[in-house]
C-alpha cells in the first residue's frame, strides 16, 4: 500500500480505563477518542516537556483529545463533545492519564508496524 503524505487531521483510538466500583473491585470502561494528529516536532516537544515535568496529563489530554464516541450520561444518552464536557471528563480521577496513555500507545503502535 502506498503512503499518502497528506493525512487527515485526526483519527480515532480506543481509550480504556478502570474505575473503582462497590465491593473493592474495578470495572473496565472504554470509549473511542478522536485524537488530533500532531506533527513530529510537537510530539518531540511534548516528550521534552514530560521529562522536565512541565506538562500534566490533563493539559496534554486536553490538547490531543478533540472528540469522542461512546461517552454517555447515567441514563445512557450520548454526551456530545464540547470543551465543557471535556473538562468534566478530565476531572474524573486518572482518566486524563488513561487518555494520554492511549494517545502514546496509538503512536507506538504505528511505530512498531513500520
Rounded-to-integer distance, Cα 114 and Cα 98, Å? 25
**pLDDT at position 5:** 77
C-alpha distances in Å from residue 45, one per residue of 40, 60, 102: 8, 12, 18
The mean of the pLDDT values for the chain is 92
Residues above pLDDT 90, as percent of the chain = 87
CB 2 within 8 A of CB 90: no
pTM over 0.85: yes
The residue ranges of DSSP E strands in the chain, in sequence order, are 10-21, 25-36, 65-69
State CA 67 to chain mean position distance: 9
pLDDT digits (tens, 9 = 90+) for 37-92: 999 999 999 999 999 999 999 999 999 999 999 999 999 999 999 999 999 999 99
Amino acid at each position: 500500500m502506498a503512503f499518502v503524505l497528506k493525512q487527515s487531521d485526526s483519527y480515532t483510538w480506543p481509550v480504556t480505563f478502570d474505575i473503582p466500583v462497590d465491593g473493592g473491585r474495578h470495572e473496565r470502561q472504554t470509549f473511542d477518542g478522536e485524537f488530533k494528529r500532531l506533527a513530529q516536532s510537537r510530539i518531540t516537544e511534548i516528550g521534552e516537556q514530560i521529562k522536565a515535568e512541565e506538562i500534566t496529563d490533563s493539559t496534554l489530554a486536553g490538547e490531543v483529545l478533540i472528540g469522542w464516541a461512546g461517552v454517555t450520561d447515567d441514563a445512557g444518552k450520548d454526551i456530545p463533545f464540547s470543551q465543557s464536557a471535556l473538562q468534566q471528563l478530565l476531572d474524573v480521577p486518572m482518566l486524563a492519564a488513561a487518555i494520554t496513555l492511549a494517545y502514546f500507545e496509538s503512536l507506538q503502535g504505528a511505530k512498531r508496524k513500520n
